[in-house]
Chains A and B, each alone.
Chain A
Amino acid sequence: MSNTQMKSGLELRDLSIRLGDRLLVDVDLVIAPGEIVTLMGPSGSGKSSLLGHICGTLPPVFDVQGVVCLNDTVLDGLAPQDRHVGILFQDDLLFPHLSVGGNLAFALPSSIRGKTERRARVAGALESAGLAGFAERDPATLSGGQRARVALMRVLLSEPGVLLLDEPFSKLDRGLRDQIRSFVFDLARKNGLPTLMVTHDPEDGQAANGRVIALD
């Protein structure tokens, strides 16, 4: 990533989220490109609300103060689809009505034109995930690890400026978990994505090998 130096990453300035009288989250944080920050907290502590707010999909019942900035662009007020914020949940959420390739092509920006070119990009993404030739497959026939990798490739193809991880490994088998963790973390670093992970599994934080912030 040649222009990594010019990007300032993800900034959460004096960000607080309230539901009624209850303060759910209160953070002030800058995540540099390629840096992985882990937010630890018990469930119900509002971690997912924070990610929802960054995505722009948080329901209006929440009361939010503060500013979210991505590479010096203020995200607040932008529609979710214009934010270039990629998110992975604990479920892969592959669209069951589309093929594996269809899922990836859904994410590919329309600026990439031409059937051949789009197919090539999808095939390339599958290959780099060790899933060459999977484009026509039904996502329901894939293993958990394969699905997790397709889900990550789908996010990356949408050319996000930041990666959000919402307990992304908690539903994977133990053996698989380490493998998918390093797959995700390596690609996030390689793509210079500022990455914010929320989790309640301390191992996730250790594996990320970055700052760990505890929410209470």
Chain B
Amino acid sequence: MLRFVPIITLIFMVGPVSAGLIGTILPSFGILPALGGDGASLDPWRALLAQPGLDHSIRLSLLNGLAATLISVVIVMLFCAAWQGTRVFRVLQRLLSPILSVPHATAAFGLAFLIAPSGWIARLVAQVAGWDRPPDLAIIHDPLGLAMIVGLVIKEIPFLFLMTLAALPQADTDRTAQVTASLGYGRITGWFKVTLPRIYPQIRLPVLAVLAYSTSVVDVAIILAPTTPAPLAVRILGWLSDPDLSYRFMASSGAVLQLGIVLVAMGVWIGGEKIVGALGRNWAVDGRRLAHDGWLRHGAAILAIVAAGAVILGLVVLLVWSIAGFWAFPDVLPRNFSLRLWAREFDALGDSLAVTLIIGVPSVLVAIALVLGCLENEVRTGFRPRKRVMWLIYLPLLVPQISFMFGLQVFFTLVGLDRTLFSVVLAHLVFVLPYVFLSLSDPFRALDPRYGQTALCLGASPNRVFWQVRLPLLTRAVLTAMAVGLAVTVGQYLPTLLIGAGRFATVTTEAVALATGGDRRMIGIYGLLQMMLPFAGFALALLIPAILFARRRGMGGNNRI
């Protein structure tokens, strides 16, 4: 049975993506019998191309996606180069892990509340500058999409940082840094010339996932991106939600176009990699050392701290708004505080938390069972999946959600499973599985195999070794992976909305729905609510092992497991 788990797991990830893509591509050429599309035609494409401002939307998606990815990668690489192995590095490492659990939409709302013309930053400036009304500037929804780029960057930095962190040990970075320093290289130059080429291949897939996400994101774009016209993915969602069902054909063409845009973005990125690689090979051996790079190191630290600070301050301002009474510009804090809105919304909040958990708990349980099965199977057979399999694990993160979620909805309708909890959980699993796998595979594989061998030689059956040795030793890693999975399902907007067809009002769909209304107190409440479950998950992942193994020093955080 165990040996079938890897293939079942892959089917759970690749199956919905493939079914969804087919279900998107066919309607884009007019084939969708349920809506009366019987014959192949190019009409949907003609309708799409006739949409006003389409070229503008495409440009926004493509350029913003590339810019957000490039900025995130550069900041993370600079910071790692400048501070790896120092105390600053460890402090930020602790700070960035919890930030990773903040849903994208929450971070975007928090950022909006900080940088909006009437936001916290403007209020602080107003104290000094003596403004009595907000500056007349379009900072949020700005025409260039700069706010959206910043919103993506502050959330992608922690992700890329943790992925880099996982790759660092394999490059023997601490000793490499000593060698380059003793040869007279500045920290950053030494790192970029020697360490980066060794670790980049391992963070390449996560970088491409960030690129695909940034180029096709919907929820962050609804909150921060320009609206006239909006990036393509937001417009597709608008067409999909249109009461006129004939718009679905055009929306499908748009979704296929969105896939094309992501592929173009990846092509540009990979081309850029090649150019940077070629230039870098010359640069690596030209002997330039940039021995005194203090200014650059401090610049990198400031950028990373500002990014982390923006998310944390954003959460604080969400909290303040959620309990704010009267709060006029330019007051830095509200005149009075009130829990009235929390009390009024109490029942509704409970409902959306419950719905979120009804979807999230089964998704996480199925995902952790499958991933543990895959990894246990690796141990028992001694075969590690090949490098190529990693592409399949990343597939759901590389294909834009909007390009296959509508098709998946079509597919579920076809088999009579539309609008069910079952289909929503399946849709969430597509994204929960890869993250749970990525989170658990490193610690699972790093567990000393001799524990298992010793237990077997003591006469324990493989199942007993799994349940009584491997699983308890990995308690913390398993719970962390489950918390990551929970954070992923809580943050899902598009799958919940499209596959559930509006039937499942989770904290995230409710929060994003509030974006257009602009009721800051309600947004504050729902933004925090989005945070609550992931935060509780990570807290439990720390607390449970601490209680279970309170009297086992060898199970502490810094042991050899």
Give the B-binding residues of A (Cβ under 8 A).
Answer: 52, 55-57, 59-61, 79-87, 89, 91, 93-97, 106-107, 109, 138-141, 154-155, 158-160
Contact = CB atoms under 8 A, between A and B. Distances in A.
A97 B450 contact: no
Contact of B454 (A59, A79, A84, A89): A89
A8 B198 CA distance: 54
A87 B462 contact: no
Nearest to A154: B458
Contact of B555 (A59, A97, A154, A155): A97
A140 B553 contact: yes
B458 A95 contact: no
Contact of B552 (A85, A109, A138, A158): A138
A154 B561 CA distance: 21
Interface in B381-405: 381-382
Given A95-B469, A96-B559, A141-B553, A57 B453 contact: yes
B457 interface: yes
B457 A55 contact: yes
Given A96-B559, A107-B459, 6 more contacts: A55-B457, A61-B382, A81-B462, A91-B448, A96-B555, A97-B475
A46 to B, nearest CB: 17
B475 to A, nearest CB: 8
A55 B382 contact: no
Nearest to B454: A93
Interface of B: 381-382, 448, 450-462, 468-469, 472-473, 475, 549, 551-555, 559, 561
A97 to B, nearest CB: 4
B458 A107 contact: yes
Contacts of A93: 448, 450-451, 454
Contact of A106 (B452, B455, B555): B455
Nearest to B474: A97
A98 to B, nearest CB: 8
Contacts of B475: 97
A93 B452 CA distance: 10
A95 B473 contact: yes
9 contacts: A56-B456, A57-B452, A60-B382, A80-B457, A96-B552, A96-B553, A106-B468, A140-B552, A158-B459
Contacts, number: 86
A160 B468 CA distance: 21
Contacts of B552: 96-97, 138, 140
A97 B473 contact: yes
A84 B50 CA distance: 76
Greatest chain B CB density within 10 A among A57, A79, A80 is at A80
B476 to A, nearest CB: 11
Nearest to B548: A97
Contact of A80 (B453, B549, B561): B453
A87 B451 CA distance: 11
Contacts of A160: 457
Given A95-B473, A96-B559, A57 B554 contact: no
A34 to B, nearest CB: 20
Contacts of B472: 95, 97
Nearest to A56: B456
Nearest to A57: B453
A21 B456 CA distance: 30
A98 B448 CA distance: 16
Contact of B456 (A60, A80, A141): A80
A141 B553 CA distance: 7
A80 B379 CA distance: 14
A81 B561 contact: no
Nearest to A151: B454
B459 A109 contact: yes
Greatest chain A CB density within 10 A among B453, B468, B475 is at B453
A139 B554 contact: yes
A155 B458 contact: yes
Contacts of A158: 457-459
B552 to A, nearest CB: 5
A94 B473 CA distance: 11
A4 to B, nearest CB: 22
A81 B456 contact: yes
A57 B456 contact: yes
A155 B455 CA distance: 10
Contacts of A61: 382
B519 to A, nearest CB: 49
Contact of B460 (A81, A86, A89): A81
A57 B460 CA distance: 13
A91 B551 contact: no
A89 to B, nearest CB: 5
B457 A85 contact: yes
A48 to B, nearest CB: 10
Given A93-B451, A95-B451, A84 B459 contact: yes
Contact of A96 (B382, B452, B457, B473): B473
Contacts of B473: 95-97
Nearest to A86: B457
Contacts of A87: 453-454, 457
Given A59-B382, A60-B382, A106-B468, A97 B549 contact: yes
A85 B553 CA distance: 30
Contacts of B549: 97
Contacts of A60: 381-382
Contacts of B462: 79, 81
A55 B450 CA distance: 11
Contacts of B455: 95, 106
Nearest to B462: A81
A59 B455 CA distance: 16
Contacts of B456: 55-57, 79-81
Nearest to B464: A81
Contacts of B468: 106
Nearest to A82: B459
A82 B460 CA distance: 9
B554 to A, nearest CB: 3
Nearest to B451: A93
Greatest chain B CB density within 10 A among A57, A59, A86 is at A57
